[in-house]
Amino acid sequence: MTLDLTADAVALTEQLVNMESVSRDEQAIADAVEAALTPLDHLTVSRHGNTVVARTDLGRGERVVIAGHLDTVPVNDNLPARREGGLLHGLGSCDMKGGDAVILRLAATVPEPNRDVTYILYDAEEIEAEHNGLNLLAQRQPELMAADFAILMEPSNAVVEAGCQGTLRVDVRTRGERAHSARSWMGVNAIHGAAEVLRRLDEYDARRPVIDGLEYHEGLNAVFIRGGVAGNVLPDECVVEVNFRFAPDRSEADAEAYVRELFEGYDVSLTDSAPGALPGLDVPAAKAFVEAVGTTVNPKFGWTDVARFSGLGVPAVNFGPGDPMLAHKQEEHVPMEHIERCEAQLRGWLTA
Amino acid sequence: MTLDLTADAVALTEQLVNMESVSRDEQAIADAVEAALTPLDHLTVSRHGNTVVARTDLGRGERVVIAGHLDTVPVNDNLPARREGGLLHGLGSCDMKGGDAVILRLAATVPEPNRDVTYILYDAEEIEAEHNGLNLLAQRQPELMAADFAILMEPSNAVVEAGCQGTLRVDVRTRGERAHSARSWMGVNAIHGAAEVLRRLDEYDARRPVIDGLEYHEGLNAVFIRGGVAGNVLPDECVVEVNFRFAPDRSEADAEAYVRELFEGYDVSLTDSAPGALPGLDVPAAKAFVEAVGTTVNPKFGWTDVARFSGLGVPAVNFGPGDPMLAHKQEEHVPMEHIERCEAQLRGWLTA
């Protein structure tokens, strides 16, 4: 598979969507990105697993990171890409190959930006943080992420979305005692024991705090459930995997404590955690970018690597084509006009 | 692996337990059984998948079937066999390799029984009925199961257990709509939707009808639950696999209607069903056997192939070593004295 960077950003989005790249299966798309960027003389390209970094080195007074992830959630009968009216449909069109296409077009066509740029296209954003390509880069070569400001091209309706919510996962486990299902009074059914766990999830009422004038919206969801030994055995274990999305006014520790209290009486073990990021619009570099592109500012509900940059002391915002409400839905799509507008605004900012 | 039929029945049980034979993996044990029986001149041995049939053909006025299954539920850190006091511990010791050992000892050492005997050792009793070796034999060569009376050596505390409860399985399915878990208000969580299904299971109150003086005991249990798409996606489906064990005064159709009514409002699909068997102690051949061995009579809670023989018009009872309450439990074991007593009583009956 090869990418044609002379195509316009919409056609390039289409090419990227048609390169299936479910998390942990990004080698082909990363190979194509690396092969497309390497011939460009104004960029220094390096490869880190399935993450590709391309940098200008013009000695400008400021450096910005523009980043996007290459992976998608599992295929859901929504490939290949399809154009209809002003929309491009298909898995990843919104989350976030439209943004990736803008990154690749800028990398290919702005050889002398007014600030140095580090373009990062990385893998494994849709799964556990331990696999996240940007996380691994931050641990192993943080110098490649150093910048005055970062823009993540996560879908944000082509306006600036500030901050992000944190995310954590816990396994809530119920235990029982195996017995033959024909003599069930001799055992304890661990799946039945999960009824109350699911009831608490079903009755959960989401908090919606307002921070810096932006309304966040928390969420608590079972994302997996499993239990069972054999068709005639009472199961002795049931595991509910719960994902908590928490507003950035909670720390990871506060969020964990909240979930542990909610599931008091059950065996709760933390499996994954990433902090949120406060809106951070008071940082000068962020203010300057927002003024330059002239868009409105909304809160970011999804966890994004904004938090990872915040953790490294680099102010960062989300700014990309597509409606984040459509991310991970079968009917995912992106307005072509969003892709064109994001590209034009960033090109204007980098060449003013 | 070979079996030594000159060993006593307890030692033979130990040999059988140490031949791991989880359902669908019975070839090795069936090979050993076939190889041990084939050299015996007074038996005609035939093989049907992993089911072995051995028959005397002495022209007696009566024929009886003595049958047992060779498979076990999954291993649960309970192998190899271990003797302690008067007990033999280990997977399958109770359900039902003690009974199988008695069958093999009788087959080897009673060359001229006073009634013709058909010994049947079969596979896949612990899983869906479609795989059950005796069921397949009944469909393909029912003449091999023809008899005046049948004894199933399922564990019954070395006393006669009459009739058996029926069993059926349904998948109870909830549906939702996928969405990114960071914007969960855009979707519907199918796992949360299963809270009410589990609540109904948890609150189920078992019926205990008395039939022919024997108290049966129904049971309704989730045996599997599954749901989930990815760690950050609201799942659009959750499936609870439910096993209903019903008393023999209900037909399969009645039992299915009961379960469908209990889960009204949900998508319920039947995946497996087998009828119960009424106690049937009014049949002369059954009465005669009970009088000959002189034991008490209890109800049978577990589904057994008693029902399959009843369906073919052959009266049948359960009579085997081991406490059925221990079947499928990690600490499964069998009193050695049960094995010896069952062997002695059947030997007496076949040689009187």
A328 CB neighbours in chain B (<8 A) are: 178-180, 230, 232-233
Contact B300, B318 (CB under 8 A): yes
A183 CB neighbours in chain B (<8 A) are: 217, 219, 301-302, 324-325, 327
Minimal CA separation from A202 to chain B, in Å: 5
A74 CB neighbours in chain B (<8 A) are: 229-230
Say what the pLDDT of residue B25 is.
Answer: 97
User: With helix as H, strand as E and coil as C, how does A119-151 read?
Assistant: EEEECCCCCCHHHCHHHHHHHHCHHHHCCCEEE
| Calpha distance A127→B235 (Å, rounded) | 15
Supply B265's token pair.
């409002």
Residue B270, classified by CB atoms within 10 Å of its CB into exposed (0-12), middle (13-18) or buried (19+), is middle
Say what the pLDDT of residue B110 is.
Answer: 98
Contact B73, B328 (CB under 8 A): yes
In chain B, the largest separation of any two C-alpha atoms, in whole Å, equals 78
Q: Which residues pair with B335 in a beta bridge?
A: B87
Contact B53, B144 (CB under 8 A): yes
With an 8 Å Cβ cutoff, are A182 and B245 in contact? yes
Say what the pLDDT of residue B303 is.
Answer: 87
Say what the pLDDT of residue A170 is.
Answer: 98
| Calpha distance B266→A139 (Å, rounded) | 48
B195 CB neighbours in chain A (<8 A) are: 195, 198-199, 201-202
Strands B149-152 and B63-69: parallel
In this predicted structure, the answer to whether residue A126 has a pLDDT above a threshold of 90 is yes
Backbone dihedral angles phi then psi of residue A220, each to the nearest 5 degrees = -130, 115
Strands A166-175 and A116-122: unpaired
Say what the pLDDT of residue A4 is.
Answer: 96
The one-letter code for the residue type at A155 is P
Residue A143, classified by CB atoms within 10 Å of its CB into exposed (0-12), middle (13-18) or buried (19+), is exposed
Q: What's the N-to-C CA distance of chain B in angstroms?
A: 35
Average pLDDT over residues A242-261: 97
Say what the pLDDT of residue A51 is.
Answer: 98
With an 8 Å Cβ cutoff, are B229 and A223 in contact? yes
In this predicted structure, the answer to whether residue A283 has a pLDDT above a threshold of 80 is no
A185 CB neighbours in chain B (<8 A) are: 206, 217, 219
Among A128, A184, A225, the residue with its CB nearest the CB of B227 is: A225
Average pLDDT over residues A42-52: 98
Residue B123 annotated among the catalytic residues of the structure? no
Spatial CA neighbour of A300 closest among A254, A243, A222, A245 = A245
Among B194, B233, B272, the residue with its CB nearest the CB of A223 is: B233
Supply A137's token pair.
């880069």
Minimal CA separation from A43 to chain B, in Å: 35
The whole-chain average pLDDT of chain B stands at 94
The one-letter code for the residue type at B278 is L
Tally of CB atoms within 10 A around B124? 24
Say what the pLDDT of residue B117 is.
Answer: 97
Does the N-terminal peptide bond of residue B145 adopt cis geometry, omega within 30 degrees of 0? Answer: no
Sorted by sequence, the CB contacts under 8 Å of residue B30 that are 6+ apart come out as B47, B50, B51, B52, B70, B121, B123
Supply A14's token pair.
């289409």
A235 CB neighbours in chain B (<8 A) are: 222-224
Three-class secondary structure of residue A52 per DSSP: strand
Minimal CA separation from B324 to chain A, in Å: 8
In this predicted structure, the answer to whether residue A128 has a pLDDT above a threshold of 90 is no
Minimal CA separation from A40 to chain B, in Å: 36
Supply A89's token pair.
């449909």
**b/e per residue B226-257 (b: at least 16 CB within 10 A):** bbbbbbbbbbbbbbbbbbbbbbbebebeebbe
Say what the pLDDT of residue A313 is.
Answer: 84
Q: Which residues pair with A238 in a beta bridge?
A: A174, A227
The one-letter code for the residue type at B345 is Q
DSSP of B203-245: H------EETTEE---EEEEEEEEEES-TTB--SEEEEEEEEE
Give the Å distances, CA to CA, from A296 to A291, A326, A339, B20. Answer: 10, 20, 17, 68
Query: Half-sphere exposure (CA, 13 Å, Cβ side) for B244?
Result: 33
Q: How high is the mean pLDDT in each 10-residue block of chain B (352 residues)?
A: 95 98 98 98 98 97 95 96 97 98 98 96 92 95 93 95 94 96 94 98 96 92 97 96 96 97 98 88 78 87 88 89 91 98 94 90
With an 8 Å Cβ cutoff, are B229 and A73 in contact? yes
| Calpha distance B210→B251 (Å, rounded) | 16
Tokens 């298909």 sit on residue: A90
Q: How many interchain CB pairs under 8 A, A with B?
A: 225
Contact A317, A94 (CB under 8 A): no
Angle value at C-alpha B308, between B305 and B313, nearest 5 degrees: 130
User: With helix as H, strand as E and coil as C, how does A308-343 read?
Assistant: HHHHCCCCEEECCCCCHHHCCCCCCEEEHHHHHHHH
Average pLDDT over residues A136-146: 94
Say what the pLDDT of residue B278 is.
Answer: 85
Among B183, B199, B232, the residue with its CB nearest the CB of A223 is: B232
Three-class secondary structure of residue A53 per DSSP: strand
Q: What is residue B142's DSSP assignment?
A: G
pLDDT above 90: percentage of residues in chain A: 82
Tokens 């932006």 sit on residue: A214
What is the set of active-site residues of A? 71, 125
Spatial CA neighbour of B38 closest among B28, B51, B53 = B53
Spatial CA neighbour of A127 closest among A33, A278, A243 = A243
Contact A10, A84 (CB under 8 A): no
Q: Which residues pair with B225 in a beta bridge?
A: A227, B240
With an 8 Å Cβ cutoff, are B184 and A231 in contact? no
Task: Report the helix count and the strand count for chain B, using DSSP H and E.
Answer: 9, 17
| Calpha distance A280→A214 (Å, rounded) | 12
Supply A30's token pair.
């990363």
| Calpha distance B352→B350 (Å, rounded) | 6
Minimal CA separation from B56 to chain A, in Å: 34
Say what the pLDDT of residue A221 is.
Answer: 98
Radius of gyration of chain A (CA): 22
Sign of CA dihedral B273, B274, B275, B276: negative
Q: Which of A248-262, A265-279, B23-37, B274-288 has the lowest mean pLDDT?
A: B274-288
DSSP of A192-227: GGGHHHHHHHHH------EETTEE---EEEEEEEEE
With an 8 Å Cβ cutoff, are B73 and A233 in contact? yes
Interface test with A, best of B132, B263, B328 (most A CBs within 10 A): B328
Among B182, B235, B245, the residue with its CB nearest the CB of A165 is: B182
| Calpha distance A51→A67 (Å, rounded) | 11
Spatial CA neighbour of A118 closest among A173, A162, A54 = A54
Sorted by sequence, the CB contacts under 8 Å of residue B349 that are 6+ apart come out as B289, B292, B293
pTM for the predicted model, two decimal places: 0.74
B302 CB neighbours in chain A (<8 A) are: 180, 182-183
Average pLDDT over residues A304-329: 89
Supply A213's token pair.
């004038």
With an 8 Å Cβ cutoff, are B228 and A229 in contact? no
With an 8 Å Cβ cutoff, are B201 and A195 in contact? yes
Q: Catalytic: which of B14, B34, B71, B116?
A: B71
Read off the pLDDT of residues B74-100 as tens digits, 9 standing for 90 and up.
999 999 999 999 999 999 999 999 999
Chain A residue with Cα closest to B226: A226
